[in-house]
Structure 1
Amino acid sequence: MKPIYQFFAVFWLFFLPFTVISGDNNKNLIFKGCASQKSPDPTGAFSQNLNTLFTSLLSQSAQRSFASTTAGTDNTTAVTGVFQCRGDLPAAQCYDCVSKIPKLVSKLCGGGGDDGNVVVAARVQLSGCYIRYEISGFRQTSGTEMLFRVCGKKQSGDPGFAGKRDTAFGAAENGVKTGGDGGGFYAGQYESVYVLGQCEGSLGNSDCGECVKDGFEKAKSECGDSISGQVYLHKCFVSYSYYSHGVPNISPLSDGEKRQHTQRTIALAVGGVAVLGFVIVCLLVLKSAMKKKSKYDSY
């Protein structure tokens, strides 16, 4: 029986870790913005300040959804940066999302100090959070400058689509003005349209409303009659989706967790069946080998 115990020990060690599939979509890359300019960093001061900035932002992401800070006191090497998480992410998921970005900055933008240069400004936007930073004195960008947009397929077939969409947009514009915890945030629906808007925490209520309004205007002009769209401005972002059969039950934590749970359940079920089948085959082989051994022992 001892060989059987050894077999099971090896089996559990090497096969169980592969039976769970992650479905977390909060860390999907949406876009990256990298300044073309790189700053010489012969002393490594800029790189050190950037690392300090990332460490500070990551630490704060465990308690809040937005923070802005500066690392360094020398105007030539000081770095200012912010992080923000989507307003419906709990602290643990916010931290997990933000923790993925520092390495992505170097990977996607280069100039991580290894070549003696550092990119003077960058932004990496994931589906659940973003980090942006800039060297002191870098050119300021308008809060309503459009950085990125995604439009879905055209035409819903619903003659009332445009009216429903515009009403939902208006609700979001008003909703973000009363949002809290690191910037205005609103997620809701009007009939068949689900809409979301969020501002960077540095914006006041009035400015937030204006930024989101501008975002929806850009969504209408850029996406036309698309049934879904996402528009990212420098200081806010908006998204909307039309559901012909009505908006599904979307939890405050988004459907990502639901999909993750479902995928894990399916993976475990499939993995369990595979485990059972593998065990049965191995036991049959072992049984056959033992029979042959007994046969040979009888001679």
Structure 2
Amino acid sequence: MGLPRKSLCILSVSWFSVTIFLGSFSFVATGADYTTVVFKGCADQKFQDPSGVYLQNLKNLMSTLVSQSSQKTFSTTTSGQDPNAIMGLYQCRGDLTTSQCYSCVSKLPEISDKLCGKAVAARVQLSGCYLRYEIVGFKQVPETEFLYKVCGSAQASGTDFEGRRETAFNMTEDGVKSGKRLFYTGDYQSVYVLGQCEGDLANSDCGDCVKSAFETAKDDCGDSISAQVYLHKCYISYSYYPNGVPTVSSSSGTRQHTQKTVAIAVGGVAALGFVVVCLMFLKAVLKKRSASKHEGY
């Protein structure tokens, strides 16, 4: 007997993953930071599964998604037969290699199990990838459904910030519409932006989703010099560096393993998860500063 269908709106975002630090500290972001937990949403309803068929389908689903992540940065699949089928997908950040994507996605099944247990639907967002699954037949939510946001505590001063940010936002919207992989990074006069949509969206729908996320950032974060906004089918990030971008340097390990590190001193109250995501987004932008360069899947 199948489970009753309930709306994905029951997914609740938790702040469990954001650790607050008081005072000043220095933080170094390395290549492994794309596996930092940003947020999770777990359905309140649990599998009623005395035969174990749902959990076996979920296990098979996770195994398939992890395997596919070594080949491509977005994939969706279904495991099992109605009425016990489960749909799932993963998405990696557009600047990650397939090797990095696999490293990120392979962490998600264990993290999802620890954070959401036997929930009939869940989404776990890491700084470099996310995974979501649901029982087939779940009521769908709009592409622009709000999930999570973080607004930087520092506020911009002067009259130039809003205009610069607006131009950078428009560049991102145009970039995801015209690109082939629904991913864009760029910068405009010290405002660094990133936008990405779920891999099955049409380009025009991606542009609309990113625009909605930017409107949320402006409305909810005001003049914050940095923010991330996650909607159901897209997410955006921006950071403004009026005094210059933090130093980015390369440190070499073996010939096969070279990683960039970013050191930044943060004063006042800071959320570690937020800092990690900011730094990783900044690294992505710095790798692709030309707004006109877009690659295919």
Specify the TM-score bucket, using the shorter chain as the normaliser. Answer: 0.7 to 0.9
Residues 189-208 of structure 1 mapped to structure 2, 5 A cutoff: 189-208=187-206
State whether structure 2 residue 267 is matched by structure 1 residue 259.
no
Higher RCO by CA contacts (8 Å cutoff, separation 6 or greater): 2
Q: Aligned runs of 1:109-188 on 2, under 5 Å?
A: 109-111=116-118, 119-181=119-181, 184-188=182-186
The one-letter amino acid of 1:55's match is: S
Deviation per residue, 1:218-256 (Å, 9 max, x gap): 0111111100000000000000000012345779xxxx9
Aligned length in residues: 227
Question: 8 Å contact 2:57–2:80 — kept in the other structure?
Answer: yes
Q: 2:247·2:262 contact (CA, 8 Å) conserved in 1?
A: no
CA offsets, 1:50-103, max 9 Å, x none? 111111111111111100110111x22100011000000011110000000101
Specify whether residues 58 and 260 from structure 1 end up closer, same or farther in structure 2 by C-alpha distance, changes over 3 A only.
farther
Greater helix content: 1
What TM-score results when the alignment is normalised by the length of structure 2?
A: 0.73
Q: Which of residues 63, 66, 87 is equivalent to 2:71? A: 63
AA of the residue aligned to 1:133: Y
With the length of structure 1 as denominator, give the TM-score of the two structures: 0.72
CA distance in 1 between counterparts of 2:80 and 2:136 reads 10
Query: Aligned residue for 2:234?
Result: 236
Greater share of residues in strand? 2
Given residue 238 of structure 2, which amino acid in structure 1 is its aligned partner?
Answer: Y
Gaps of 5+ in 2: 1-28, 250-257, 264-297
Return the alpha-carbon distance in structure 2 between the equivalents of residues 171 and 260 of structure 1. 25
In structure 2, give the amino acid aligned to 1:25: D
Does the CA-based 8 Å contact 1:216-1:238 persist in structure 2? yes
| Aligned AA (1:61) | S
1:53 aligns with 2:51: no
In the alignment, residue 259 of structure 1 is paired with which amino acid? T
Q: Percent identity?
A: 57
Task: Name the CA distance, whole Å, in 1 between partners of 2:63 and 2:238.
Answer: 33
Structure 1 distance, partners of 2:217, 2:210, is: 10
Q: Distance in 1 between matches of 2:210 and 2:30?
A: 33
Q: Distance in 2 between matches of 1:25 and 1:58?
A: 19
| Higher alpha-carbon Rg | 1
Residues in 1 aligned to 2:205 and 2:242: alpha-carbon distance in whole angstroms: 33
- SS of 1:189's partner is strand
